[in-house]
Structure 1
Amino acid sequence: MPENIKIPKKIINSKNFKLAFIHKSFDKDQNNERLEFLGDAVIQLAISEKLHHEEQHFNEGELTRIRAKLVNTSFLSSVCKKHDFHKYIKASKGTNSLSEHQKDKVYAGMLEAIIGAVFLETDYFYVSKFVYTLFGDELYSLDSTKDAKTVLQEYCQSNNIELPRYHSTEDNKSNEFVCTLNINNMTVEAKHVQKKISEQLAAKKALAVITK
């Protein structure tokens, strides 16, 4: 199991969790398809809840577009491989000859099954935090944050507000970038190990204040 994600032994040793790694090509009767179905719904809800809470400056259409990028096959497969879950899959040898796109579908499905299994062994509160931990910085590296700077600039332009000014410095102690954003006689700060994301997070903070 991945070292950077702590999963209680009680969950790891559960029947559902073990089943999450079994592809239908390995066992046509006892496999992860039903867990995949459940996990898909859990991920959709967890991401929808987070976006609704944190992306208050986006409308329904924008939220839907952002969510789609966070739950698509390619992205879920990358999360699965990032945490090395794919190394533990039980599948027929024929899966090795699949195209990359087909492999992505297998790995994405397995990740959904894992999340479905964790949900069954715990509860929604626990599994939602598990999802956010798995996704990590990727939650802030797609359009949800990239759009924040654009939205802020467009808001300023349409409301005759001076454009935001960004200044980033590196904190050598924490190895994080500290972005200071000045706008409309207001200053906000945000930190992240990536300079670009620290700027986006600062833009989100500013938007949350000036659009109230």
Structure 2
Amino acid sequence: MSPSKRQRPEHAQRPVADLARILEERSGQVVDESLLSRALTHRSFAYENGSIPHNERQEFLGDAVLGVVVTDHLYHEHPDLPEGQLAKFRAAVVNSLALAKVARELELGDFLKLGRGETTTGGRDKDSILADTMEAVIGTVYLCSGIPGATALIHSLMDTLIEQSATLGAGLDWKTSLQEISSALGLGVPFYRVAEDGPDHDKTFTAAVLISDEKLGQGVGRNKKSAEQQAAEIAWKSLKARADAAEESAGSA
């Protein structure tokens, strides 16, 4: 069989023990490997293997724990902000895109137990699967060590995102925030140009955002939404830097 026709090898799943060590370093607590193994078990794998336990109960728990930890942090860090603004800050952190980003930084996809169908269709890098599994992992650490361990893990993984949430203005995401800053600077409405590449089961999307015909950001993702968000984040930071520089220049004049 020629190299071009040879079957690609199956994804080499990394040992659960490797992830347990990473989480223990992040949380300062011991993580039970059997519980962690269940947190990494997607329902597609469970159904293909005799309906074994999967991660959805731990996901449910982790979602609640994450919400409490982030809300508590924002409440104490921003004592003067009203409830509505705190809710928007929290929504900028506790969402599937943010969780999927954190999961990729942990290389969580390498540890997932997926069914054949999800594996074939790129499930190891799907935002929804990564976000749900990240919540299940948080739930696992909570089961092993309670709020202290879960809090340490969440802050270790998400402090940068929590800090960024305060820069998103009234928007819940980068696209909304980009539209706000563009309008405030009198630059008009952002326009997104999206291209896709690859077969239907493994597409890659590239998004470019233009404002007043100037390309200010480009993003790549497994779906159109994540690519546009990435492009919007880059563009927002570019416009924010320009605005800050102009303000500083005017102040020193």
Shift of 1:22: 0.4
Q: CA RMSD in A?
A: 2.6
The answer for the alignment partner of 1:19 in structure 2 is: 38
Corresponding position of 2:94: 71
Q: In the superposition, relative to structure 1, how do residues 12 and 87 fare at CA in structure 2: closer, same or farther (>3 Å)?
A: farther
1:145 Cα deviation from its structure 2 partner: 3.9
Letter aligned with residue 53 of structure 1 = H
Does the C-alpha gap of structure 1 residues 57 and 146 become closer, same or farther in structure 2, counting only changes over 3 Å?
farther
Query: Hey, what's the Cα distance between the residues in 2 that align with 1:136 and 1:83?
Result: 15
1:141 to 144, 164, 167: 164
Q: Answer yes or no: is the 8 Å Cα contact 2:29–2:145 preserved in 1.
A: no
Aligned pairs for 1:5-16 (under 5 A) are: 6=25, 10-13=30-33, 15-16=34-35
TM-score where L is the length of structure 1: 0.62
Corresponding residue to 1:58 among 71, 81, 85: 81
Q: TM-score, normalised by structure 2?
A: 0.52
Contact persistence 1:36–1:110 (CA under 8 A): yes
SS at match of 1:87: helix
Work out the CA distance in 1 between the residues paired with 2:160 and 2:29.
26
1:34 paired with 2:57, answer: yes
Name structure 1 gaps, 5 residues minimum.
149-195, 197-212
Instruction: Kindly tell me the number of residue pairs found equivalent between the two proteins.
Output: 146
What whole-Å deviation, never above 9, does each CA across 1:78-100 have from its counterpart, x for those lacking one? 11111112210000132245478
Partner of 1:104: 127
Task: Choose from 118, 131, 155 the match for 1:132.
Answer: 155
CA-CA distance at 1:69 after TM superposition: 1.3
Name stretches of at least 5 consecutive residues in structure 2 with no aligned partner: 1-17, 171-236, 238-253
Partner residue, 2:69: 46
Moved over 6 A (4+): none
Aligned-pair identity (%): 28
| Alignment check: 8 A CA contact 1:95 1:103 kept | no
Kept in 1, the 8 Å contact 2:30–2:145? The answer is no
